[in-house]
Structure 1
């Protein structure tokens, strides 16, 4: 009996030692295997620390000086900059999306003769995503239905141009230029974009004030322009604020053709296949203005649809077009 017990104990020990030896062997081999992302992890380990958001020594917005020496202005900016700096997941996605969408926004702003800094308003509004607010504002520039129609966009249950980046950018610039003409300041124009022109005008008159920085206004609008400024600062210097985003990790620009029709579409799913899509999901992602499975077009209006080129489905193809894909965003 005793011999059997000793034998069993020795057998168990031998098995345990064998398992440990095998595990150690594979662990050592795995540890020795070089990783293509080692340099990336080394940078993260070096820079991934908690620190106070650096505030620049000087700052301008649309050519207007921001009075950073004013303690209240500085602290308000610090609040928003710290918030987006440590709102990691959202800010990372904003930086990645900006690689795809910002070139189009910048091009439209330049064509329309608007300040380039206005692009950061779209970031503050939607984080560069086609979102819908609880108040039913939609798209990158977050237009309400009535305002969108006022500025020339078609909005209905079948087609919603608030989701068209170019058309909504044009409408946003018109709104902001009108506000600038009225208030004489781009910071006030941006404030009006948030709270409305009449509401802003009433507050300015009531307080005999002509400066956003000195205006007492509702909490949301009082933080709004500072949030735009914070995105400008961080997106112009992402590494300084701890965001190391490789170019290959960004959302790459997509290549597509455009198909234009001037007839009613009774079955949008069938139509998507006719123009080259195998997936209705991808058709809708490329054409977010489509809001229904049909499009009524009695007036023979021209509607345009994006058809993604086959190569653009491939991440490897898109990244291969980058010259320095391992470099970080500047």
Structure 2
């Protein structure tokens, strides 16, 4: 009788209204039950990384004990802790791309810590693209990419070229260091622009970027880089226990130099013993179905080594042994 009466009362009420009404009570009941469960344990509910008293970035020691710095750092550490899928995938991808970009940073005299800037810019995803139009591992805007020597058009977009984009980023970072003489200022300027950082330093009478009042995105930026460094120093602190086989290995490839127009990249891929999909995967800077080569310009195209193309987790080597537990 009670069920029939309830059915009559609920008849005509949209299902979504019923769910929105009942759902909060179900959630409350779940948590009350969890708290009363003798088998529940507070230390298994979450892993929260403690804010260190200081951190070293590009050789400089940053004091994090002041309340505002402590709380900003805490926010970014919690973000890395609880955005599990993004944090874990960033580490997996870094195993593939850190070995490529770190030697380029060193070659250009850029501190290795800037690999963490790349990590927060793109989550180590070479195909990353922001809503504003920034693209690639280093998230160059089209105009900025061209300014630093990258070809950007409808056929070729070298913001997606891992090696060339890294060299372009090094040019920017070196130029900014020549201006500021401080790597933290350089890192902040990568987000806000050199002009904006200089302007705010003059207006606020300080050269210390961490003491500037900035828009939230830029104010968080440096602390996100610090948090990324802590994450990559020891992922187990965040509760991430990865095995070597979980990491993405470097891709074995061969190269061909192209100096004549390719009218059909799919046909070209087939003639090279691979697929169009793999061609685009290894060369994300190829943005169309053809590749014009004008005025004798040459392009280096990567092609997969078919003998080593299959995934073999037993042969995956970690870039840093501290990333894994095996």
What's the TM-score, normalizing by structure 2? 0.82
Structure 2's unaligned 5+ residue stretches are 1-40
Find the counterpart in structure 2 of residue 254 from structure 1. Answer: 251
**Equivalent of residue 52 in structure 1, options 41, 48, 55:** 48
Aligned partners of 1:213 and 1:110: how far apart in 2?
A: 26
Find the counterpart in structure 1 of residue 96 from structure 2. Answer: 100
Are 1:48 and 1:242, in contact at CA under 8 Å, matched by a contact in 2?
Answer: no
Find the counterpart in structure 2 of residue 162 from structure 1. Answer: 159
Task: Report the alpha carbon displacement of residue 57 of structure 1 after superposing the two structures with TM.
Answer: 3.8
Residue 216 (structure 1) aligned with residue 213 (structure 2): yes
Find the counterpart in structure 2 of residue 78 from structure 1. Answer: 74
**Equivalent of residue 116 in structure 1, options 112, 119, 143:** 112
Task: Report the alpha carbon displacement of residue 162 of structure 1 after superposing the two structures with TM.
Answer: 0.5
Task: Report the alpha carbon displacement of residue 312 of structure 1 after superposing the two structures with TM.
Answer: 3.1
Aligned partners of 1:323 and 1:118: how far apart in 2?
A: 22
Are 2:232 and 2:323, in contact at CA under 8 Å, matched by a contact in 1?
Answer: no
Task: Report the alpha carbon displacement of residue 320 of structure 1 after superposing the two structures with TM.
Answer: 3.4
Task: Report the alpha carbon displacement of residue 328 of structure 1 after superposing the two structures with TM.
Answer: 7.1
Find the counterpart in structure 2 of residue 242 from structure 1. Answer: 239
CA deviations on 1:146-190 (whole Å, 9 max, x unpaired) are: 100110011100011101111111111111111111112111111
Aligned partners of 2:132 and 2:97: how far apart in 1?
A: 25
Residue 138 (structure 1) aligned with residue 135 (structure 2): yes
User: What RMSD in Å do the two structures reach over aligned CA positions?
Assistant: 1.7
Task: Report the alpha carbon displacement of residue 49 of structure 1 after superposing the two structures with TM.
Answer: 4.5
Could you say which structure has the larger radius of gyration?
1
Residue 305 (structure 1) aligned with residue 305 (structure 2): no
CA deviations on 1:63-99 (whole Å, 9 max, x unpaired) are: 1111112221111111001111110000010011111
Q: Secondary structure at the match of 1:301?
A: coil
Are 2:234 and 2:322, in contact at CA under 8 Å, matched by a contact in 1?
Answer: no
**Equivalent of residue 124 in structure 2, options 122, 128, 131:** 128
Aligned partners of 2:116 and 2:104: how far apart in 1?
A: 14
Aligned partners of 2:262 and 2:47: how far apart in 1?
A: 55
Aligned partners of 1:162 and 1:222: how far apart in 2?
A: 25
**Equivalent of residue 227 in structure 1, options 224, 228, 233:** 224
Find the counterpart in structure 1 of residue 147 from structure 2. Answer: 150
Moved over 6 A (4+): none
Task: Report the alpha carbon displacement of residue 241 of structure 1 after superposing the two structures with TM.
Answer: 1.6
Task: Report the alpha carbon displacement of residue 62 of structure 1 after superposing the two structures with TM.
Answer: 0.7
Find the counterpart in structure 1 of residue 315 from structure 2. Answer: 321
Count of aligned pairs between the two proteins: 280
CA deviations on 1:268-298 (whole Å, 9 max, x unpaired) are: 1111112221x21111101101001111112
